[in-house]
Structure 1
Amino acid sequence: MTHEFKEIITVYQQALQKGIKAVVATVVDIDGSSYRRPGVGMLIQENGHMTGAVSGGCVEKEVLRQAQSVFSSGKPKIMTYDGRYRLGCEGILYILIEPFEVAKASIDVINTKLQQRIPFQIKSYYIKEEGSHCVMGSIIEFEDDQLIVFSDTARLLLVQQNSSLQCFERIMQPCFRLIIVGTEHDAKHLCILASVTGWEVEVIGAPSNPKQLFDFPGAFLVRNETPENLTLYNTDLQTAIILMTHNFAKDVLYLQAIKNVEFAYIGLLGPARRREKLLSALIAYAPDISDEFIESIHGPAGLNVGAETPQEIAISIIAEILSVIRAQNPISLQDKKGGIHSQTKKQLIDEMHGRT
């Protein structure tokens, strides 16, 4: 959800420059099931423009209507939306709507943390009952103990102790990042689809055939570097890498260049026999390479969905990356037992120990 929060910040910056007031709506609790889980949010501007969503599109009009009282009073409120009768989702949403009055200096801090890929936490304090309440709101906490409040009402939380308040906490990990090594036709389609998914996409191309940012719609960075000069910055467990240069020798050299970086997923384009030849050549070229790195490489990249076109191959690759980073065994949802949403690592551990 970090990419959604990033979009909210970007749009709010524009509204702030124009002097347009804004509020934020956040799902902080659910009784039953819902289309989205707690933590999802949206920005509503006083002119009616909305960014993001708290459901599949059916709740947003009611949120816009309820937000008007927050604009007029300046007080946060809790609204509920009963989907049992309206949506058939058998759940009640509790949505915190609060003023969003973050100063420009604080916005700059948030953007810097996002660029540096530093995790942070958002805590939303609320009363689980409909209506306006003076002391509710959300606070951003960074690892260095720096705090940013959404509004003055949230600032009161720092000086007042209120035991009646509930707190919904969520860790905002760095935006998921996809590094595409290769600039052929299929790389462009993967870039477009990954950016629509909300991922930050970086493209690595060869200096002999340099590409520009406009060649890859949706990418935030395009670099033209040889494997020998390649340096990947701030890679982490929110990073996936796909090698699709269509050049055997280059793929070997790029694998050598990234063998020590941290990542959540790495994939190779091409058939299984190409993967085996690549890994054999890599081991001969770099005999000290770790078994862990070799075993972590997915090739051919993608799930078996019968993909044929570049667009379909991009879908299969993104689907496999999602299944790996969410620790899911891909099956048809109609065959899945329990909820359809992916589980967190803590939920998986709790389930193993019978605590659910």
Structure 2
Amino acid sequence: MPHHPFHLLQQWFPHRDARQWVLGNVCHTAGSAYRKAGALMLFSDLGEQLGLLSGGCLESDLQRQAMAVMQSGRGRQQTYDSDDEDSVVYQLGIGCGGTVQVMLQPLSADNDYLQLGALYQALQQRQSVVHGLTLPDNTEPDAALWPAPDSPGNAGFGVSQRGFIEERGNRSWLLTPHRAPPLLAILGAGVDAQPLAELAIKLGWQVVLNDPRTSHGRPGHFPAQCQLTKAMPEALPQQPWFRQIDAAIVMHHQQGLDADALAALAQQPPRYCALLGPRHRRQQVLSDAGLATFPGLAGPAGLALGGELPEGIALSILAECHAALHGADGHSLSGVL
């Protein structure tokens, strides 16, 4: 199951009243940590765990802590410190070597599920919001949901979505920006679009496939989660999803369709736009589209991963797309490459 908050809430929402639930949030980290402030996880009285707050090393103890919260009905904070001899992390030799502070709060209709239902509905409607949650103290927990500020830093999917602590009134709040999963438009639904769509769905992205040709984009060939449409490329701007897309990959393998698709995308370029094919073909397609240039167009598409088969090419393209959406450069973290 994807770990984007939207998918976690999608799993939780139908069962919110059928179980006892506790919300876990990372509220502070220092040093190396698998998840950063704002990460959320849900624990049920049946032992269900939705999400991750570590690489898997803290969840068993967190479940035990969550059960104690259910019994007491009061929130708590738990600190996991790799340098503290009294910490379970130190004693078991687990973790990434840093410090992680987690807050656990009971969820119920009485506290309006700490606004998680409203957060889920906002993400369903692809609204960007900020979820606020008070840190556990001797008073009842409070939560709120605000529209996300309209700023350039709010447009990406990376650091801008991390939570932070802010003092409001006489209480400490964890404020976490949220936005819906990336919406990817795959324009051209041939055989090589299948692994691209499948991998994007595994990443938790939302996928629209559009191809006007009757022989392409058949439902049985793509994951059921994909939205399949048949609009002509010049009619793309009239599609209800068009102005919401975060990324687009043009891959009709037919020059006229590709040109019309690029002309439509040029009206409102997404954060990432790619065109399959070699460099010289890109110039031909741009010329046919009546475009002198298309700033930021990835063509050839993808990172140089060495793949030649559809699956490897799909990985290459989505890796580049992921980096672009998150404001990353795709370099080797170890420097081995």
Would you call these one fold, judging by a TM-score over 0.5?
yes
**Which position in structure 1 is the counterpart of 2:51?**
52
**Which position in structure 1 is the counterpart of 2:7?**
7
Distance 1:330 1:12, change over 3 A: closer
Matched, 1:65 2:72: no
Deviation (angstroms), 1:140: 2.4
**Which position in structure 1 is the counterpart of 2:289?**
282
For 1:21-36, list aligned pairs within 5 A. Answer: 21-36=20-35
Offset from partner CA, 1:234-258 (integer Å, 9 cap, x none): 5568600001111111111111222
- Look up the equivalent residue of 1:327 and give its one-letter code: G
The normalised TM-score by structure 2 is 0.81
- Look up the equivalent residue of 1:301 and give its one-letter code: A
Separation of aligned partners in 1, 2:39 and 2:147: 19
Report if the CA contact (8 A) 1:203-1:219 is conserved: no
Offset from partner CA, 1:313-352 (integer Å, 9 cap, x none): 111111111222233222211139xxxxxxxxxxxxxxxx
Distance 1:71 1:108, change over 3 A: closer
Report if the CA contact (8 A) 2:186-2:210 is conserved: yes
For 1:103-122, list aligned pairs within 5 A. Answer: 109-122=118-131
Report if the CA contact (8 A) 1:117-1:234 is conserved: no
Report if the CA contact (8 A) 1:236-1:264 is conserved: no
Q: Aligned to 2:132, which of 117, 123, 146?
A: 123
For 1:132-211, list aligned pairs within 5 A. Answer: 133-136=138-141, 138-142=143-147, 163=170, 165-209=171-215, 211=217
Kindly report the root-mean-square deviation, in angstroms, between the aligned alpha carbons of the 2 structures.
Answer: 2.7
Deviation (angstroms), 1:299: 0.4
Distance 1:115 1:301, change over 3 A: same
- Look up the equivalent residue of 2:301 and give its one-letter code: A
Secondary structure of the corresponding residue to residue 10 of structure 1: helix
**Which position in structure 1 is the counterpart of 2:306?**
306
Distance 1:233 1:95, change over 3 A: same
The normalised TM-score by structure 1 is 0.77
Matched, 1:39 2:42: no
Separation of aligned partners in 2, 1:55 and 1:137: 25
Separation of aligned partners in 2, 1:182 and 1:8: 30
Distance 1:142 1:328, change over 3 A: closer
**Which position in structure 2 is the counterpart of 1:331?**
331
Separation of aligned partners in 2, 1:213 and 1:23: 38
Distance 1:185 1:142, change over 3 A: same
- Look up the equivalent residue of 2:103 and give its one-letter code: L
**Which position in structure 2 is the counterpart of 1:264?**
271
**Which position in structure 2 is the counterpart of 1:245?**
252
Distance 1:81 1:35, change over 3 A: same
Separation of aligned partners in 1, 2:219 and 2:178: 27
Q: Which ranges in structure 2 are unaligned for 5 or more consecutive residues?
A: 84-89, 150-167
Separation of aligned partners in 2, 1:196 and 1:312: 15
Report if the CA contact (8 A) 1:35-1:55 is conserved: yes
Deviation (angstroms), 1:124: 2.5
Distance 1:83 1:217, change over 3 A: farther
Report if the CA contact (8 A) 2:302-2:319 is conserved: yes
Number of aligned positions between the proteins: 305
Separation of aligned partners in 1, 2:40 and 2:228: 30
Separation of aligned partners in 2, 1:236 and 1:257: 11
- Look up the equivalent residue of 1:266 and give its one-letter code: C
Separation of aligned partners in 1, 2:82 and 2:321: 32
Report if the CA contact (8 A) 2:185-2:248 is conserved: yes
Secondary structure of the corresponding residue to residue 335 of structure 1: coil
